[in-house]
Amino acid sequence: MRSADTEESLDAPRSRAFWLKPVFVLALVWLGCLSAVAGKEFVMPTAHAARTYPARDEHSTEKVTVAVDPYDVEDKASIFTVNYRNNGYLPVFFVITNDGDRPVSLVGMQAQMNTKDRSKLFPASMDDLLRRLSHPSRNDRQNTLPIPLPKKEVKGGVSRKVWDELEQAQFGAEAVEPHSTVRGFLFFDISDISNPLAGANFYVMGVRDSRGNELMYFEIPMEKYLSAPEEKKP
C-alpha cells in the first residue's frame, strides 16, 4: 500500500499541471491577439466615382465632382491601426473625380470644414498628427512575460507602422487626370467638438483647370452624409 506521503507527492505534479494548463492557454490566446494586432496593415479603401457618394458637390460645367465620406463610426475606422478618434482626430475620405478631357490641378487646393458654431477646421499636417500621436513618456517597466516581445522601431515618437500608415493614408494628389478619380484621407482635429458633423459644411477652394483658371468653390453640407440611408453609404 502507498503511504499518505507518497500519494501527496504524486498529487503535487497533478495539482501544478491543473493550474498551469489554463495559464498556458490564456498566454497562447493573449499572444494570438497580440500577433493579430501586430500583423494588421492599413489598406487604402477603393474610391468610387465621386458622384456615387451622398455627400458631394458636382460641377457639371467643369465636369468635376468632390465628395467626402467621414470615417466616424467604429466599423469604418477599423481599417486603421490607430484609433484616431481617441486621439482627437476625425478621418475624412476625400474623393475628386474629373470627368473632363483635360487635367485638373490641385496644387493650390485648400479644404476646410466649418462647424455649426462657425469654427473653421483645417486638415492636419503630418507634423500635427505625429505630434499628437507621439507619447513622450515611455513605458520602461520590465517585461514579466516568459516570452520576450519584439521591439518596435520608432520614428519621431511613433512606430514605423504608424508612420507608414499616415504617409499612405493622407491625401497628396496634385492633379486629377482626365476621366479619373483620386482619393485619400484628410484628418480634422475635433478634440474640443462633441458633434462635429451636425450642421457642418465642407468647402474646397483652389482647384484649377488646365489653363490655370480657378473653379468655383465646392460646398458640401455634411447633413447629406448624416441623412443618407445606411445602404447608400459606400
Q: Domain containing 223 — which CATH number?
A: 2.60.40.1150
Distance of CA 96 to the CA centre of its chain: 19
Over residues 139-161, the mean pLDDT reads 51
In terms of pLDDT, which residue wins out, 189 or 3? 189
Residues 167 and 184 in one domain: yes
CB-based contacts of 38: which residues, under 8 Å, 6+ apart?
Answer: 150
Q: Domain tally for the chain?
A: 2
What confidence score (pLDDT) does residue 138 get? Answer: 41
Split at pLDDT 50, 70, 90, the class of 145 is very low
Residues 101 and 176 in one domain: yes
What confidence score (pLDDT) does residue 155 get? Answer: 46
> 180 and 188 in contact (C-beta within 8 Å)?
no
Residues 119 and 6 in one domain: no
2 within a domain of the structure (yes/no): yes
Q: Name the one residue in this structure whose C-alpha cell is 498551469.
A: 20
Residues 89 and 189 in one domain: yes
Residues 199 and 116 in one domain: yes
Split at pLDDT 50, 70, 90, the class of 1 is low
62 within a domain of the structure (yes/no): yes
What confidence score (pLDDT) does residue 156 get? Answer: 53
Residues 156 and 222 in one domain: yes
For 40-76, b where at least 16 C-beta lie within 10 A, e where not — what string? eebeebebeebeebbbbbbbeebbbbbbbbbbbeeeb
Residues 88 and 168 in one domain: yes
Determine the structural domain holding residue 19 and report its residue range: 1-38
Residues 125 and 191 in one domain: yes
Residues 31 and 129 in one domain: no
CA distance 208 to 153: 41
200 within a domain of the structure (yes/no): yes
> 218 and 66 in contact (C-beta within 8 Å)?
yes
pLDDT tens per residue, range 65-109? 999 999 999 999 999 999 999 999 999 999 999 999 999 999 999
Residues 171 and 203 in one domain: yes
Split at pLDDT 50, 70, 90, the class of 134 is confident
Residues 26 and 58 in one domain: no
Over residues 114-129, the mean pLDDT reads 95
Q: Is the pTM of this model over 0.85?
A: no
For residue 122, report the phi and psi dihedrals to the nearest 5 degrees: -115, 150
pLDDT more than 70, % of the chain: 72
